[in-house]
Structure formats: C-alpha cells, structure tokens
Structure 1
Amino acid sequence: MYRGSTPTYFDYYQIMINGATGQVTWTDSLGDMHFSSSSAFDANGDGRDEVLCSVNEISGSFKHQLKLIDFQNATINNLSSLESGVNLGCTPLIDDLNDDGLLEIVYVYKLDSLNPSAWTGFKMKSLQTSYAVPYRGMAFSSYMGTNFDGHYTNELVTCSTTILNNHFVEQPSCNGFTDGKIILTNFASSTNTILWSDGSILDSLTNIQAGNYVVYLTDTNNCVELHNFQLIDPYSVAFGNISHNVCPGDSIGTATISSTGCVCQFSTCTYNWSSGSLIKHATQLPEGMHSVDIHHPDGCVVTDSIYINDGIPVIDSSFTTSPSCSYSNDASITLIPSFPSATGCSWSNGTSLLINDQLSPGNYAVEVYNMNCTDSLFFTVQNVDPVTFSPTVSNVLCHGEANGEIQIDSFSGDFPYNTVLNGVIYSDSVLTQLSPGYYQLYTIDNNNCYSDTVIFQISEPDPLSLTFNVTPATDSGYFDGIAHAIVQGGTTPYNYVWDHLPFLNDSVVIYLTNGYYPITVTDNNGCQIIDSAFVGLLSNIDSESSNFIEIYPNPSKGSIQIKNTHKSPISYTVYDTRGLIVNESKALPYSNQINLDLPIGTYFISFTHYNGSIFKKIIIN
C-alpha cells in the first residue's frame, strides 16, 4: 500500500491481514517505493510460508533489492544486494526452473536509476537459491499466484497413515478456569508442522479453558491430519422453578439454581445470591439480572446469572393525535392493551372507552386495569400551530382608480394555501385591482384550517386640483408677469412641468408676457393634472382710451366707482391675483358709472371697447 495521492506518494507499507477475521496482524514500511505485489513460499522448510518483497531505496538515485520476511523468527533478510535501477510493478517469479530440487528467483527492474518513468531498458536476473522446493508446493510464487488465478496454492492431501499416535487431555479444574491442557505425544517421524485453531504452533496447549480446539498436523509426504479436542467444565449449572413478575414494578420473581456438583440436599454446597438469598432458591426478585455464586465442596466457585422479566403492562402501547386545526376539538388518545378482552379504563373526562376522541388540547389522566394489574397513565394533547399570515396593503395610487393591492408576505401553515377576500377564494398570494374601501381577509391552508380574519382599509388620495395666483404683465411687450401654480390633493411631493420651460420643476414662473401658460403637475404616485395660467395686462398702448375710464378712489377702503366718459359703451371684467373672475359687466354706457364692493386684496380690471382693451390695477385695503 502507498500513502498520498497521484503523483505524490510519501510512504509505502507492507500489510498482512488475517483472512478469517479481517484484522491487520502485521505492518511494516520497507524501502522508499514499492508497487509490485509480494510472493509467498516456504523458504526454510519449517512448514510456514515466508514473504518475498521487491522494494526500492532512494538515496540520490534509485536502487532495487529483494527482501525475505520470516514471520516465525521475526526476521527480514536481504536476498539480493542493492542494485542501481527501479522496479515499479514487476512481481518476482519463484520456481525450480532447472529441476534440481532448488528454487530460482527471477526478477526484473528498470535500468534508469534517476528517472523511474524513463524507457531506457530493463534488466532481468535469475537468483539461484539454496531453498528446496516446499513439501506442500509453491504457495504464491508469481503475479496473481502460482496458478495465475489469484488463489493461494495448497497441495496438501489427507494422510493415509497416522501422524499423531497419542495425546493427553486435562480438563479445567473449575468452571471458567484456564488450567486445562492438551498435550500431543508420540508423533510419526515424518511430522512437519503443527497448527492449532488458536494460532499456536507448539505440540501442546496449556492454561486453556473449556471449549473446542482443533489441531492440523502435516508431514513431509505433503499430507494433513486433523484432530478435535473438547474441554468441558466440571459442573453443569442450570436454573429452574423460574417465575417472572406479573405486573410492571413487581418484585415477586423466583428462581432456583442447581449444579451437578450439588447432587442432594445434604451436600455441602453454599449459595450467595445478589438479592441476598443464601439458599438455592431466590424469591421476591424484581426485574433485572440476578447472579448467584455456588461454592462446591472442592472449593470450586461457579457464578451464573438469570434475567427476571418485568410484568406485562396493562397498556402495551398508545398513540395520540393532535387537533386537525388549532381551534378544533377532534384530537384523540388510543390505548392498545396487552389483553384486550380483559382490560377496562376510566378517563378523567368521564369516558370509559379505549379510544378517547373529540378532545381539545390539554392534559388527560386514565386509570387502566385487567385481571391482574392496575396502572395510572397521563397524556398531554399538544395543539397544532395556528394558521397565520402577514399582509402588506398598497393603497390606490390616484383618486378614482382601482389599483390597490394586498400581498401575503409570510404564511405559517400547511402549503399550499388559499386567500379569501370578502368571501371570494383566490389561490394567488397577491390580490390586485382593488378599489378603495374596507376588506375582510383570511387564509385557508392545505388541511382546510382557517386563520383569523383581518379587517383593513384600502384608501385613495384626495383628487388633484390646480389653481393659480397670477400677476399680470404691465403692458404689451413687457415680461414682468408672474404665475404661481397652487396644487391640492394627491400625494406630495409634486413635480411641475411648464410647457415653455419643461426643465423647470417649480410652482412659480416669472418674466411672463401676456398669454396662456400650460402646466402639467405630477404627484408622487404618478397622478397628473393639466391646466393653463392666463397672464393679462395692467394697461395697453391706447393711452387715449385709458383717459376715458375713471376709477376712484384707488386705493380704496372697500368701495370704488367706475365711470365711462368714452362716447361708446365698454365692458369690463374683474380678476383676482389667481386669474379668477370675481365680477363682470357686458356694457357700461357713456357717462354712466357703477359702484363695486370688493374684499381686501389686489385686483385687475379689463376694459374692452370697439378699439381694443386696457387693464388697470385696483387695490382694496
């Protein structure tokens, strides 16, 4: 085996695994690099196989060497000297190639001692050994084994003559003691190996306990002989008159111990139970393991134990169901008795049935009984989590629209779920196109459980309205008019776009001449209102016509008189500073006058006659 990952390996191991148990029995790290598989054969004729490894050493350059591992003598011997080169994956061949009864080892390695991956040639060598061909054949003498099938070779056959002629067995002196013996005597002269089932290779086993032991004997004629030996304890111990507990928690169990070493009531055996009894009988035993020491007349103490069962419970098992919904009373508790036909019960809620249903969450107690036992049991019915949700309400954006929304942000319950709005069931979590008003909302989960109902309002902003405060221009050609847009309703802040100044976001525009000025106002929700401000003139170039109009007193305390001295009729219109008409007349005949009562403020009056129009300013203070 190697340690690391391709292409870097930093350690290499040789490992032996016990084929019967899978346990690692031997580990070493020979050489600096080792990829080829090992071989096995009996090199020294002791009937035990040695292992041949082809390893590489690295010390400035690569060198190759064959090593032989003797597990019986715990030695590692070098079969070849260190030779320049490297063996990456060639398993040595072990065979008697010239039929002289001695083994040769044929091995191959690369010539290049600096670059193990280079293809600069190979060297093949045959090493003549003094090892005789093993009696039992070559165990694993090449790649994939002696027969190239991956199997370990064993050519042993059943012996036709007896190898073991006699043996001696000494049984353990007391139960559990390890003083037994098996001694093999009088072997055939051709005996080669001894192997016990416990791994020993000696001709005897000592200090062993009761059990079965197997020994395998081989001889130089390549045959194997098997012997079984059974060691037994001197006393046979058994329990009788066993009675277990009837009800859970009882202490009425009994047991009696007997031993072949205590054959009659007058024997001198003594007893010592873990429960305190000093005779062969033990009574009033609770559930559990109970041990007893038997002291035999010969001093042998045997310890054994017996398990006394607890009594059979009145109720073997039970199961509880929770309510289907947090507000439901349909939970249940079901009792499964050990003896159904002989079991009764009495519940704390008054029922006497083994199935207690239509329950609400809470604690319940029950007394159960059968022909032998009674018991008290307690149960808690847990409630399920309620169905809950968290909505986000979006109001209508503009007055008179129907674009309100409700979105379910979080939900607890069994998915999928439905949303119920004003009695209408929806499968969506977002409800749109809602008009202003009050709504009732709840959810239903996949178990048909309902949440609490939430009442909420979807509101709308006030309608947008637009008025103007206007300061007229002094006269035609003058740019001293002012328009102030006054917005109410909607959602602040507002955005103002005047047609003649589209990049000016302001409610006031100045330097205006006579005329109409359209404006688009957009609120924070995108709602719009469009209107125009009219900027008039305080007077015009027709100064002659202006002289025929008399306004007095101006400024005034509230009442003014207007007189027409022009030879033709005129009409007039009075505006406030917002541009709204507050008074008007279709005709004012020549030499006529009128009185006007106006609130405090600044006004503009427009006079129109056949030759044009003039503007005048009126101040009421």
Structure 2
Amino acid sequence: MNYVTVTDQNGCFTIDSVQINASSTIILDSSNVNDNVCGATPCVGDVFVLAVGGTGALTYAWDNGDFGQLTTLRCAGFAFVTVTDAIGDTAVFSFRVTDIGGPVITKSKTDISCFSACDGVARVGVGFGTFTYLWPFDGSTNDSLDGLCPGSYEVRVTQTSTGCVTSDTINIVEPLQIASSFVPTESNCNTSDGQIIAIVSGGTGPYSYSWLDNSLVPLTPAQTTDTASNIGSGIYNVSVTDSRQCSQVIQTTLNDIGGPSIVLDSVNDVSCFGLCDGGIFVTTTGTGTLSYSWTGGSTNEDLTNSCAGPFTLQVSDVPGCKTFLQDTINDAQEIITSLNIVSIPSNSSTCDGEANISVSAGGIAPFSFSWSSGTLGSSANNLCTGVNFVTTTDVEGCFVIDTFNLNPGNVIVLDSIQRTNPNCNTCNGRINLFVSGGTAPYTYLWDNGDNTDSTTGRCSGIVEVTVTDNAGLSESFIFTLSDLPSPNFALNGDNVSCFGENDGKAYVTVLSGTPPITVTWLSISASGDTASNLPAGIYGVEVEDIFGCTAVDTIEIKQPTEIQASFTFQDANCGSSDGSVIAQITTPGGFSPYSYAWFDKDTLALSSQTTDTLKNVSSGVYFLSVTDNNSCSELFNANVNDVGGPTVTLDSLDNESCQGDCDGAINLTSSGTGTLVYNWLPGSLTTEDLSNLCAGNYIISVTDGLGCVSIRSYDVLPADSFDLNLVRTTNTTCESTFDGAIDLSLSGNASGFNYVWSGPSGFSASVLDLNGISIGDYNLTVTDQNGCFDTVSASVSFNTNIDVVAAGDTFLCSSANSIFISAIASSNASVKYTWYDTDGFIYGNLPIAQVTPKEGVTQYVVEAAAGLCVAYDTVQVTYSGFVRADAGPDREITKGDEIEIGGNPTSLLGDSTFWSPSTGILTSTAESNPLVSPSENTTYEVLVRDPFGCFAIDSVLVTVNPLEINDGFSPNGDGVNDGWQLPIVEDYPNILVDIYNRWGQLVFSSVGYTIPWDGRYKGKDLPVGTYYYVIDLNDNTVEDRFLTGPITIMR
C-alpha cells in the first residue's frame, strides 16, 4: 500500500492510497535434457522444462519453432526457450544439448585483468585426433578466443572423423570496478587542517594511493595512504591502484567549516536521450557576495541547459571560505526499437511491402509510430521499394528514427554485424557479417580479398563486401571503421625556484590509454613521467600507448624575476678607509624582504656589514650578496675607487661574436702617477688590455705609484643566442607519399635567421618547419644575422609500407581462352588488390586474376592498396596469334631434276624459316622457297618462327621418279618415232650411249647423243628385235650414273 497527502495553502489536506502488487517472477522449476546420439539422422535430442511463477498461464516458445514444454529433434548445441506469462512478462532459459560419444573438452580461461579491459581469453583442449572449432560469438575457428569482455562464450568442437559435436560455454568475468566512499574532516577557512579518508572497494587488494588536486597534480608533499591530511578546502582526486595494477581516479570534495550553505532544490534530468536541457538548481547563503564555479565553466548559481553527466559546484564567500556540491544529471533512456520486415514489395512499381515495429527498451509508454508511407501505427503494409523510415515517439515527445531499405525479389539482407574498431595507427579492426535471404549458401568477397563471413586486419576507413548467394545474386554492403582514441593525460609542472636556476619540474598524469604507456620528453634527455632539473622554458612531451597511439602537449616552466640592484658610491681618500656603497633593490625583483652580505675581492665575508650600505672601507673590489624572502640570492660587484686615482679610459670593448666563441676583447688607456700596476678579476691577469674573452664580467684594478687605486668593471656580453631543438617528426602515411613533417623549436634573443635544409634527392628548403615531405634524412643549418649557426638532423620514415610483386611476363604461342596471372603484396596493413589493363578494364580484386589476352602485347597492372598507400606492378602477356607455315603441295620430280618447294607465301613477313633436312637443298635452308634436287623420295619440313619465338611446322613430300628411258621405236621412215629419243640428254650433255645386240655386239655408240640412233648399223637397217643399251651419264654428282636396259626395234 502506498499513500499520498495533498495539502493546500490553508493547511487543509486529504490522503489517498493505492495498492501496488509486485508481479511474480518466472523461475525454472525443473528441466530434463536428453542428449543427441552422435550420427543420428535426424537428431534425437530433446529438452523438457517446467517453469513456475509469473501471472496466469505460461506459454513456451523455443528457438527452433517448437511450442510447449518439450522441444525435440535437437542436435548438439544450445536450446533456448522464452517463457511468457499472461501479462507479457518473460524469462529466457538455455540448455546445452551435446552428442553422446562426442569429443571430451578440457576448458581453461584467463579472466579479465581490470574492469572494462576486455582482455579475457577462453581456450579448449581435446584429445588425439582431428577436430574443428567454432565460436558462434564471432565465427572464429581456432581453439582459443581472446580480447574478450565479460560474458558467456559458447564453443562447438566437432570430431572430423565422426562429425560428433560437443558444445560448452566458458564464462569470462572481470574484477569489480574500483570505487570509494569518503569520510571528510572539514578544514578551517583558508587553513590546511582538513582531512579525507578513502574507503575503497572493488578491484583486488591491497591498494596503493596517490592523492591529486583538481588538476590531477600530485599533492605536495606527496600523500600516498588512504588518508589525505593537512589539506584545505577544494576538489581532490585519489588515484587508487590495486594489486593487479588496475587504476581508477575518483573525485571528492572538502568543505570549509562555516563556509557558504548550499541547499539542493532540484535536479532536472535530460528530457530525451542525447539532448542538453538538464539542470541543477540550488539555494545558497553565505557571507558577502558569493561566487560560483560549476564543472564546465558556468558561473551562475543554477546550472541550466546542460547535457548529462556528473557536476561539481564550488561556492566561495568573501572571506574565501568554500563549500562544494556534487550531483549528476542523468540521461534519458534511449528508445530501443525492434524492426521486423514482414514482406518486401513484389516489384519495384508496387508499394505492398509490409513491416512492423515495437519498442524493446527505453522511452515512456505509450508510443506512437509514423511511417514514411503515411501510415500511423506499429505496422505498415504500403511500403515501396527503396529507403523507408519509421519515427517512434514516446509520451514525452522523445523520438527515434529507423531507416531501412526494401528491395523486391528474394534479396540478401544484412541482419547484423559485429564490429571491432582498430586501435590508433594499427590495422587490427574486424567485422563479422550475418546475412539472410537469397539462396543459401553464400560466398563473400571483401575489398581486401578476404572470402569468409568476416574480415580481419583492417585499418580505419571504408570497408566493402559483396555477398553472392547460390543463385548468383549479389548484394554489396559498406561499413566504416574508426580509430580508437589516443591517450589522454594531464601535464603539470613546478616552476623554477629562483631566477636562472634549473630546479623546475614537469610531470605527466595519464588519464586514459591502453598500457603500457610510454612517456617521451621532447628535446630534453629525460625519461619516465617526470622531467626534473629544468630551467625556465617551454617543454613538450609525447605519450604513446601500446598501439602506437600518441598525444602531445607542452608546458611552460616559469621563473621569478631577477633580483637587480643599483649602487651609489662614495670614493675613499687615497690610503684611507672612508669610502662607502649604498645598494638599492630595483622592483620588481625577487621577493622582499631582503637580506644583505658583503664580501671582499677574495670573497671573504665582511661580517660587520649586513645592511644595504657598505661603510668605512678603502678602495677595492667588493661583492654584495642579496637574498630575498624566497631564499634566492644574487651576487653584485660594487667597486670603491680612490679620490685622485689613475685615469682609466675604455678605448673599445668587443663582445662575443657567437655564443661560446670566447673572442671578446677589452682595450684601455690608463694614466697616473708613476708606474701603473694592473690586476684583473677573474684570472689575475696583469696586462692593461685583454683578448680572447668569453662572455662575463671583468674587473680591473689600476694602482699608481702612490698606491692610489682606480677600479673599473666591464661586461663582455654574450652574442644574441638561440636554441634550436627538434620537437617531433611526423612519418609519412605511405612510403611514397609526401605528407611527412618536421617540427622544430627556435628560442633565444637572436634574430635575422636564415634556414638551409638539405634532404633526399636534392631536396632544399629555406623555412624552419617542414611539411609535405617524403621519407629520408634531413639536415638543417640555421644562421642568425651575426653569422652564428646551429644544426639539427631528423629522419622521416613511413607508417604503412606496401609492396607488390607480380609474376613474370608471359608469352603465349597457342590460342587460349584465358590464363591466370598473379601477384603477392607485402604490407603491415590489410591489402586490397585491383587488376586492370591499359584500357581500364578491371579484372577483379584478388591476388589472382583470370584474363583473356589479345593478339600482340597486353600489359596488365596490379594495384595493391593498404589504406591510402598504393603500390603497382605489371605483367606483360604477349600472344603472337597465328604463325603461318606452308611448305606447299607435295611434288614429283625425275631423278636428277630440280624443283622449288614452299608455299605462296611460306611464312608471313618478318617471320624466319628453316628447312630440314638439308640433303638435296641446292640453295639456303633459310630461304622461304628453296630449290631442291633429292636423289630419293624426301619429306622436307619447314619451321617458321615469329619474332616472339612462337613457331609452326609444315612439310612437303618430294617424290623422285627414275630417269625416263624409251624402251622402243619404229624406224620405218614414216616420220614418226623413227629415232630413239632420250630426253635426259638435255640434262647430261656429256652422256655416253652404247647399244648392243643380243650377242653382245656393239651396234651403236655416241658421246653427247646429239643424233638419235636410227636403228641402223653400218648403214643398214637392223632386223626387228630386242637390243640392249648401256648409258653412262658421265656426271660424278649423280649417284647412279650408269643405266642399262632393253630397247626394241619395231617396223
């Protein structure tokens, strides 16, 4: 029962009440799991549950679509059931189903080291055999998972030989966050007599402490226990480190006793998530006019129009007493929606897509919904193709807009992604992709060549993936990865105690960043988080975390003003002690009051002289040490001359030309009674003039013959000096880009500088700082107007390297539909490949590309990109096309004849030919159409080779017929065939022909056979019959020069 009392301005009131009953929690009463049998088809696992509690009847919905208390046909894995009561309250329970006979898993883990560190590791081990692993969290297939935040991580181990699966979970936990409550003891106003005790919880004890002020500067003296003592009012922080080296900085405040009063009237939280309309309203009272200081800089009494966050108010009164108030403006709950696409438009011209939306968390009910199609309500069924949106508004007017894309057809839909952003300057980003729709299974092609549902080793920037389903339909998705931030730190320091000293300090307090943290002081030799023994000046520091993320800041270490004095002198009478010196401190110099100590020329103290006046002294060199209230001292020279002493005139004084050159000089002219004696300080030199002097003060005492003394003091000034230091170098993004930088600091009182830079490839410049430069070694000489110079050197490297080497050039002599060309890239970042030819045609984004070369020479370019860095290489493919080889048709010749062989033409212009064998070739074997005269049947081959080395072969058969000898004739005087004709005579002019009858009697003989035989012997016709010839071709080049055979005379 709850009550409310309403009272009006007259004190009249009424009371009302309302009964609020707590709903009963749904809890699991009992369950039974029957594991699956390894190899069973279908799976035979089942789970039965019984839940109790809630309001009214309970319903059960399983992740596989089963309804009721029992789910069946379960394979190895986890089964989830959502139990819902009558008023919509739900509870989700999970159960592990494993394979009977599945692998036996041994689990181990490394829990998270520090709160929110997310460095947990989960591992599994199995026995002998071959196993595969799957972590559903991100799809990893290793036996371990690292970089884990708190949670429960499922692993599925499958035995390759049997297909049996064992599932289990590993719980990764993290230490509690280090927190603290505080017990303050208020201080008296403007007095450091307060105390704060920290009561720490969380983390892992024991703890170490370091108390810091509001600027995160360690308190002085250091406070390193759980109690900060002897402190005044203010805002304090305590850095608590536990035994695991986990740290947390926690803020608190300490008020003054009797300080202003602060009454918290109200806190207005932010009305809608992300807005800045919150406020904190207070009523304050105190002595005199009060001043206000809020976190964020507001100086009003109330804080208005503020974003969400913790705030501290400091109220100070006129006496300087302070009171603090700390409170938090909370952000509104973000409205979290769940959008369900029921159906997509049937085609691009029909607006019949359907979707519904619900609020899963945040906001204040009831909610209203407005769709881009004009529909009001939680569902819309008139959605068109393309981009649609729905606005969800709660009762307070807070709203959120969901945008979604509807495409007709069975498209591939991006369900969700798991994104891990890269750390600064590294490429360790990762994206895991989860898609649905289309026709499974899917293939993936990322812009860096990865081909699974995840891509790793990614730099910050745009990431693109194309998902193709089993039907060949594709969908592309684009994502963005952003670098994690650089370290955050506070840089504070202690000023130099006295002018010209070098006891300043600067120290770094790291507020955020991934350890280990490296602190580098720029231009000075210091290490660690503190730089000591510093003179006044500006100092830079760079803080780098384990991932190479850096942050840079500078601080100025200051010093008090120099103590300066002027003097009034009263010269002494020669030989008398009646001189005096009065010192007067000029302002502002040091911190008054001052103390004085006088010394003689040998720096022996004049103990009786302790005021600003030196009295009753003779001529001589004296020194005054002035010490201020800050214990800073300054030594001055005060000289007392004799009345009537020698005259000393300065002729010239040369200061140092350049710092440290020691080339100063003092030239004097002195006169007086008798012989003059000179004595210089420092150094006790006794000459009138000095040379080769370093910068400094020089005092000369000139004594005449009467003992009277004149003293002069001269300052040889140092040259106008400058200090040149390297502040930082910025590496180029890529090995070949021009975005490096060199930053220098140049301080001092010199002027008129001239800058001369030299660098790689003849680089030169005439400025102090360099920007837009390439990698390499650089040297700078800085010369001032006096010709004094200093030098500095710096090297610029690169952040991302990329190199790509393509496979060697290729020659193709035969026709090929396509070939594969490849390249290998090396880089410290993820690489994206692109292949294209000189016409700009792109062949893909993988290390291997399939190309179809054209006849001639084609050049293919591979572009390897790692972020903004790009490298190129080329592959030249030479395809000669058709090589013509035509040996011509087969030929026949009579033995001993010649004939030309080859085609018309044998080869194309520019190609070379070679005939073989060479036997019987009368001309060159390199001729396209040689003359041949083989003695027997011969097949000649011609090899034709083009300029690329590609060749073709053809052949021709030359058939050699025997010599044609007529075997008869009819010498009957009819004018036809009356003589024995021998056609071969034309080829063998020296032929010898003999003819014999059957008894061997020679009846005809001729050399040259110029007149054919007419069948007569000794003028008479020979009888019809058979005769025999013997022919000698009388040609030694012919293998068978002798021919024989019968010949018949017919009439």
Q: Same fold (TM over 0.5)?
A: no
TM-score (norm 1): 0.34
TM-score (norm 2): 0.22
Larger radius of gyration: 1
